[in-house]
Amino acid sequence: MRQNPEWYHKLSRHPEAIQEIKAQADDYFGRSMKKKIEQFGEYLGMLNMFMEMTSLMEEDKSPVAEQTKE
């Protein structure tokens, strides 16, 4: 309620709108299923990028190790 005073005003005049306000608040604070799926997708993207970066680092180290042996 403190984050969005419009919710307070709407609820004080129309208490039956509690479900609508709750859905808006969940979306605002990232607690809706849509937001959770978006966050999960972002985490998967970061994980994929990290895995690609580590595989590239391993590939870069392999030729150097072989050159030092010769």
Amino acid 14: pLDDT = 93
pLDDT tens profile 36-57: 999 999 999 999 999 999 999 9
Give me the percent of the chain exceeding a pLDDT of 70: 84
> Would you say residue 65 has pLDDT above 60?
no
> Would you say residue 67 has pLDDT above 90?
no
Spell out the domain ranges in the chain. Answer: 1-31, 33-70
Average pLDDT over residues 11-16: 92
3 contacts 28 by C-beta, under 8 angstroms? yes
